[in-house]
Amino acid sequence: MKNTPFDLTGKVAVVTGSSRGIGRSSAELLAKLGAKVVISSRKADACKEVADGINAAGGDAIVIPCNIARKDEVEALISGATKHYGKIDILVCNAAVNPYYGPLLDITDEAFDKIMGSNVRSNIWLSALAIPQMAERGNGSVVIISSIGGLRGSTVIGAYGISKAADFALCRSLAGEWGPKGVRVNCIAPGLVKTDFARALWEDEAFLERRTATTPLRRIGEPDEIAGAVAYLASDASSFMTGQTIVIDGGVTTAAV
């Protein structure tokens, strides 16, 4: 019998982009809650460090490197995880890219395609490979890490925002399609979090000062503060929740201008 609805004992989780930042914090927390975890990002060495830490703490983690922009590597990730652990119960689509900062109408086709391919199409690939097996068992959870960039306009990362808004729509549609089979699909929309991915933003002192001044909590977030929501959505604690987006941004999207 589980002690709490957050207990993930016996569950298997695949977390993309889990060598650092939000993905790493999420994978480590899922492991602490009892899940067996597949650590994945482009660099095997960085993944191994995370997996070694989980295993040293008594958890169970393996490494399967994957560049989410490459379909064959995505296929290898899901098939490898399934072969090793026998199933996948939790899919956390965290990996994303943003190769372009600047006016939206100046973006190159190549950069736009890279953003949409990695941030949206890869989530479709991952879901298409993992969800059917969840449906066969009548239970599963997909968590897509989006961004408040999908809720707000931006003069700097407009294409990234488009991709993250698309993830909201993807989540809602998949939730409708697979809910009857017991599979839940939800999004998390973080605000500015202190990760390597967002370094260009939070290392800009002028930008950071403006952002914190208009954020009710007067600071930016930490990766661990997003991981809790991932664990909630992955667990039975959120068993009646699907097609939704949880905004975790220190209140910045609610603040009066």
Active site residues: 160
In angstroms, what is the C-alpha Rg of the chain? 18
What tokens were used for 105?
């109408």
Instruction: Count CB-CB contacts under 10 A for residue 225.
Output: 16
CA distance 235 to 185: 12
| Packed helices 122-137 and 71-85: angle between N→C axes, nearest 10 degrees | 30
What tokens were used for 212?
């914190």
Phi, psi torsion values for 12, nearest 5 degrees: -120, 130
What tokens were used for 134?
């969840």
C-beta separation of 167 from 119 below 8 A: yes
Q: How far apart are the first and last CA of the chain?
A: 49
Residue showing tokens 């600047």: 102
